[in-house]
Every structure is written in C-alpha cells, then in structure tokens.
Structure 1
C-alpha cells in the first residue's frame, strides 16, 4: 500500500511541476502591454522603464519559469525564531502574504489565490496578482503591521542588479 501511495504522490508532483513553462521577457512584456487600462491601478500606467525592472526581477528570481518554487529564510533579530517562506511562480510571491499554500497560517492574503495557481502555465492570474499588489501599495491598502512585512518581503526578494535597467537596453531584442 505504501508503494502505491508513494507512486501516486510522485506522479501528482511530477504532473504539477510539468504544468509550468518558461516564458520569454518579450512575451511577458507583451502580456503587460496588452492589458486594458482598467487593469492598472487607478491613475497609473506601467512605464516601460519600470516594466524593464520588474521583468528583470522575474528573470533573476525565477528564470522566467512559471513553476519556480524557492525557499527563503529571512534574517531575524536574535530573540526571534527564523521562519521559512516559500516563494512561488514567475514573480516569486510569498506564501506568508500573497497566496495560500493551505499550511502556512496568515490572515488576509493580498491575492485571493492558492500558491499552486501561481506555478502553472497560466500567467494571467500571476499578472493580476502583481497588479493587485501595486494597487494596494498605491492606495495604501495595507495595515501598518502587514505593510512592514510586505516591504520586508520585497527587500528580500527584489534583485538589486535590476535597479538600473532601462527599457531601451533590457528590451533591445524585443520586436514590438
């Protein structure tokens, strides 16, 4: 019986990992550029230079792999116990704030989505979640304690070598 259960788990995990795909930076840029204006936070649009920084982060963090899952153990003060975060999908979004993994206790996830939805080959929900995060930040929609936790996550996962990327340089090979 144990062998059957193990085989079942291996086949399920194998199938779930096979659902992901690798997207190109040019295709991801097109996905963002094809969004209707109503999807953007009110009064804002995504500038090409910000998009270059965001997509550069995706490249560095997940290598454009929609099924990327990584572990992160944020540094804590000496008296605090270290906790492990799991980061999911293209944008490497945290199970502590963004999505629900079914195991990690956390109130009010920012995106009402399961973490497994962030590691499939459908990137529309991932992009929608990132735009939801942008709306929350712009509108000041986080409670004070969640805001600090959110910015801590951003600082830990954002790739500093993307800070100086510009659209002209980063998207040079993309044909619009």
Structure 2
C-alpha cells in the first residue's frame, strides 16, 4: 500500500513538470508578450536563449544563487552564480578574490529562482523563505507548474516595470537585479534568424 502511495505522489509531482521546445516557447511568448519595438524579435530571441541556458525549458526548474550585484545590469556580464538544486547546471565564474569576513559580500542574500524564466523569490513571487516585492502577485509555486501563462504574465510585468517612465525608487533596484540575470552574455548577440531556424 505504501509503495502505491509513493508512486502516486511521484507521478503527481512529475505531471507538474513540462519540458517545452524552443519553438513552442517562442509561440507562447509571441502570443503572451508585448515587447518594445523595433527590435522585439531580437528581445524575444534573447529571452528564449536565457530560458535555454538557465532552465533548459523545464517549467519546474529551481536554483539558488548569491544575490546578483546591481552593476551587472550595466556591464551585462558579471553574474555570480552558485547553483544548487534542480535544473541544468551553470558553471560559476571563478572568484577574483576570496571574500573577507565582515565584508559586504558575506551579507549578500541567497535568491531562489523558479521555473522557466528563473524568476527570483525576492522580486516577483512570495515564498516562505524570503521577503519579496511580489511584483507578480504570485506564490512562487505558481512558477514551477505546467501552466506557463502566469510565468509569461510575470515576465511582462518585469518588462513593464523596467520600461516605466517614472520607476518607483523602492522597487527599481531589485527589479534591475532580476533583469540583470536575464541578460546572459551569450544571448545578447544571438542571431535571431539562425536561433529560431526550424521554428
């Protein structure tokens, strides 16, 4: 009897996870996102590239990382990532120096990233582990199920927040940190035509 319960529990957990194809995600994003013109196709390719590198198109991927540095959004390539948990492995960049005890680096928080887009519990959703802006008005478990509509709506909320003419100073810093994670160096210069070839 116990074995049957365990199998049913595992089957229910597995049914929540979906691995999308690149082309399917592209179609869903084209239907669900409003991207800034004139380079909306390039932005779409960058988002899909980010998903491919960070979650492997797995709707239930979860990782933890050190809180990103704010200047990484400007420089585009400084992302400190220590990866634990589910999802594809990302190789962390080697540290240039060891942090000193008592330094600001010791005080950085751990962010948990959820779902296809690897969105942070400190910014977009509410978890029991952290304080959050909860920009998307979701519990974080909504970002790891098979329904991608709320994930895509959450990405749209991030895009809207970043492109707002008068951003809220209280929320702009963590939102920019979240956006900096999406700007993968490998994805910024992706060739849209070849990336979506076959779609």
Relative to the length of structure 2, the TM-score reads: 0.70
Match of 2:127 among 90, 101, 104: 101
Hey, what does 1:21 align to over in structure 2?
Answer: 18
| 1:115 and 2:109 correspond | no
| Mapping for residues 2-151 of structure 1, pairs under 5 Å | 15-16=12-13, 18-35=15-32, 40=34, 47-74=40-67, 78-79=103-104, 81-106=107-132, 108-140=133-165, 142-151=167-176
Aligned partners of 2:196 and 2:28: how far apart in 1?
Answer: 14
Higher mean C-alpha displacement, 68-77 vs 157-166: 68-77
Shift of 1:15: 3.6
- Describe the shift of the 1:55–1:157 C-alpha distance in structure 2 as closer, same or farther (beyond 3 A): closer
Q: After TM superposition, which residue ranges in structure 1, 4 or more long, deviate above 6 angstroms?
A: 8-11
Hey, what does 2:187 align to over in structure 1?
Answer: 162
Q: Secondary structure at the match of 1:139?
A: coil
Q: Secondary structure at the match of 1:109?
A: coil
Do the aligned residues in 2 keep the contact of 1:67 with 1:118 (CA within 8 Å)? yes
Shift of 1:169: 1.3
Aligned length: 163
Shift of 1:40: 2.6
Aligned partners of 2:130 and 2:8: how far apart in 1?
Answer: 24
Aligned partners of 1:94 and 1:162: how far apart in 2?
Answer: 20
- Describe the shift of the 1:150–1:11 C-alpha distance in structure 2 as closer, same or farther (beyond 3 A): farther
Shift of 1:173: 1.5
Two-structure CA RMSD over aligned residues (Å): 2.8
In structure 2, runs of 5+ residues without a counterpart are 70-98
